Amino acid sequence: MRKRLSKAMMGLIALLAMVGILALAWGQWSSSTASTVSTKQKTSQTVTHKPASQKANKNQQTKSEPDPKLPKQNTDYPDLTQYDDLAIKVSTKQQKMTILSGDKLLFQTTVSTGAPESPTPLGQFVIEPERGDFFFNNASGEGAYYWVSFKGHGIYLFHSLPTDQQGNEIPEEAALLGKKASHGCVRMSRQDAKWFYETIPEGISVTIE
């Protein structure tokens, strides 16, 4: 009888030991699996977030306007809404643009008109409806900020000094301000061009001589 009880006890102990081993193995496997899933989820979030962040920075850089390298021109701009009988005159000899109210001089600044091989047209014109804050001409490899059309509805313009495709001012071209250097348009400093673009109303007469 005692031998039978002893064998039964030994069998029970062996069974409990096997259950314990299986439970321990299951716990380790579950922990390892959870850790792997967590790691994979974390990696997936990082990969997804990083490109989105890079894209946002790239868009911001594309939209930002590079600061011009050269000194700015006139900073004392008149409030043109306070004047009537406005007119714009451009002198190709003096490389000056003047804004008048009747006979009263309101504003004058240095410009660059057309080079000898691509002269700015002479005569009477008006400020046309077309204008914009930036353009780039693939044919010439140049662009500009703050353009306003005065002839040909987008052909002949007032605009800033030339830029590259990224909007960076071209130093060699900027150095020619005050000389006949353009492709026929009237160039001015970016600061002047911004004020002109935001202020000059459509329909004002333009005289180029």
| Greater pLDDT, 1 or 115 | 115
Query: Interior CA angle at 139 toward 58 and 167, to 5°?
Result: 30
pLDDT in tens, 23-76: 555 555 444 444 443 333 333 332 222 222 222 222 323 334 555 544 445 568
Instruction: Say how far apart CA 71 and CA 94 lie, in whole Å.
Output: 20
Instruction: Say how far apart CA 170 and CA 167 lie, in whole Å.
Output: 9
Kindly report the backbone phi and psi dihedral angles of residue 91, in degrees, each rounded to the nearest multiple of 5, phi listed first.
-100, 115
- Which member of 49, 153, 183, 185 is catalytic? 185
pLDDT in tens, 159-184: 999 999 999 999 999 999 999 999 99
**CATH code reported for the domain at 80-208:** 2.40.440.10
159 is catalytic: yes
User: Residue 130: which pLDDT band, with cuts at 50, 70 and 90?
Assistant: very high
pLDDT in tens, 91-129: 999 999 999 999 999 999 999 999 999 999 999 999 999
- The pTM for the full model equals 0.66
49 is catalytic: no
Whether the predicted pLDDT of 82 surpasses 50: yes
